[in-house]
Amino acid sequence: MTYKKFFDDCKKCNKCRLRENATQVVPGDGNVKAKIMFIGEAPGENEDKEGVPFCGAAGKFLDELLTTIGVKRSEVYITNMVRCRPPGNRDPLDDEIQACKVWTNGLIKIINPKVFVLLGRFAMAKFFPNFKISKVHGKAYKKWGRIFVIQYHPAVALYNGSFRETLVNDMKVLRSILDGDKLVINNLDEKGKEIVKLLRKKRKGEQKEIQLKIGL
């Protein structure tokens, strides 16, 4: 499927209740050949009007964060976990995120980024459901052959200015990755392989023990 076909189909979506009150569907925006994909939570009031993700105050701060590491917004792709504005900017509900999953996964397949930047707990939960963002923000993980950088949503700094420095520092991890620093990445793929090896070794040991018990 081409990006244009995907975009046009997504704009027509009415799979969940969010479309009832939203002005329009906001599929995503950016470089379709981007190596970096940012995934946020949901469109806000400005995004609902303009049809572009992160075009409000949080988006301006995100642009500032990108500038601090020498990355232009035109070089990345940005989307959200849901593509219609929740009423009153409330959190998206699980069934709404699930309804929008086809578009999230479709974008990932089309853009095929090497690095994901997960903005906030809802984006993080898609890939790391057992993580707590307060403990893993500013960290990078390799999983399924892809790299994930976890950060707080830029909007938190609008409500609490003390988070600005945290977000600036967390963004530096992305810069390190782009500069080729592999030491900042926690490789879950390798840990997964180690666990599989241990399980296989344990099974072989159990099988050998059973064979000895029955005299084989």
pLDDT, residue 197, reads: 54
Strand duo 146-151 + 139-143: pairing: antiparallel
pLDDT at position 202 over 80 = no
pLDDT at position 38 over 50 = yes
The mean predicted confidence, pLDDT, of the chain is 92
Contact 154, 62 (CB under 8 A): yes
> Which pLDDT band, with edges at 50, 70 and 90, does 190 fall under?
confident
- Residue range 69-121, pLDDT digits in tens: 999 999 999 999 999 999 999 999 999 999 999 999 999 999 999 999 999 99
pLDDT, residue 212, reads: 47
Kindly state the percentage of the chain with pLDDT values over 90: 87
For the chain, the first-to-last Cα distance in angstroms comes to 57
- Residue range 192-201, pLDDT digits in tens: 555 445 556 5
CA 95 from centroid of its chain's CA atoms: 18
pLDDT, residue 185, reads: 97
- Tell me which of 209 and 113 has the higher pLDDT: 113
Rounded to whole angstroms, the Cα distance separating 176 from 148 reads 13
pLDDT, residue 61, reads: 97
pLDDT, residue 191, reads: 65
> Which pLDDT band, with edges at 50, 70 and 90, does 159 fall under?
very high
- Residue range 43-71, pLDDT digits in tens: 999 999 999 999 999 999 999 999 999 99
